[in-house]
Copies of this chain bind each other. A is one copy, B any other.
Amino acid sequence: MFGKYLTNTRKQKPMIHSITNYVTANDCANMLFACGASPCMTDDADEVADIVGLSSGLTINLGTLNDKRFEAMILAATAAGRSDKPIVFDPVGAGGSYVRTSRAEQFLSLSKPTVIRGNLSEIKVLSEVKVNNKKVFGGLTRGVDSPLNDFKASIDCSVGLAKKTGSIVVVSGSVDVITDGSSIRFVNNGDELLTSITGSGCMMSSVITAFVSSNPDNALDAATAAVCAMGICGQIAGERMGDKDGNASFRNYLIDAMFNLDEKTIDRMEDVKIQEVKNEDN
């Protein structure tokens, strides 16, 4: 069901502008090539508006953040917003420092990402900050049966943040949670080794941008497809591991798997549950 979003991405060959960190930029660039997109990674405030104009989508990743890069992020997001290009926001390390949380909050007040993707601790922090002086809220979701008990927090935070921002929210974890505040999806694809390399999350955000940019009419399904695709690539890479292989080989196998992934494989391997959010107190 979700495989067609990869096929569309390979057809569209979107150029994705990423303002990202220098630790995983190379992996993200090669992962974008692997899923049929092409990367552009300038981060200078003087030119990001021009570059957004040439691109199909924008990834904003807060790793190795500083003042200058943040200024470029705001300008790029503003340019993307004016031209209705999708923005994927990856609030790396939100909650880890005062300035980082504050910048993430500021970013959400100045732009409207199509998708916000993070791990639970990052999404939890964002679910609790004010956005445009909207009151903090969370814990609104009474009607969703979490497939595992410890997803209660993921569901609460992601639905709360989605409602507050109007963005699709993705919480990465052993089971990934994706929601627009109304529908919620649980993706069971993935491999434990994804937590043993740097850049798993950054690469997932990049792939989401590529998929959403290539499938603008159905961002929720496209984001779900991207999450499935990354998880499936993790599984394929995990199966390929030999006795002497470790996390460096896994990283290569992960990107290789995306390079070789096709619609049929996604359709066959996807493991997604979809539920509606029933709000009792909204």
Majority secondary structure of chain A interface residues (helix, strand, loop or mixed): helix
Q: Give residues in A with beta carbon < 8 Å to B.
A: 21-27, 29-30, 33-34, 39-44, 46-47, 50-51, 54, 63-68, 93, 96-100, 196-199, 240, 244-249, 251-260
- Sampled A-B contacts (8; CB under 8 Å): A29-B198, A34-B246, A40-B93, A46-B67, A50-B100, A51-B97, A248-B253, A248-B256
B253 close to A244 (CB less than 8 A):
yes
B256 close to A198 (CB less than 8 A):
no
How many Å lie between the Cα of A51 and that of B29 in the bound state?
27
B97 close to A247 (CB less than 8 A):
no
Chain B contacts of A30 at CB under 8 A? 197-198, 247-248, 251
How many Å lie between the Cα of A64 and that of B25 in the bound state?
11
How many Å lie between the Cα of A245 and that of B253 in the bound state?
7
A79: min CB distance to chain B, Å: 11
A191: min CB distance to chain B, Å: 14
How many Å lie between the Cα of A51 and that of B95 in the bound state?
10
The residue in chain B whose Cβ has the minimal distance to the Cβ of A246 is: B259
Chain B contacts of A43 at CB under 8 A? 64, 66
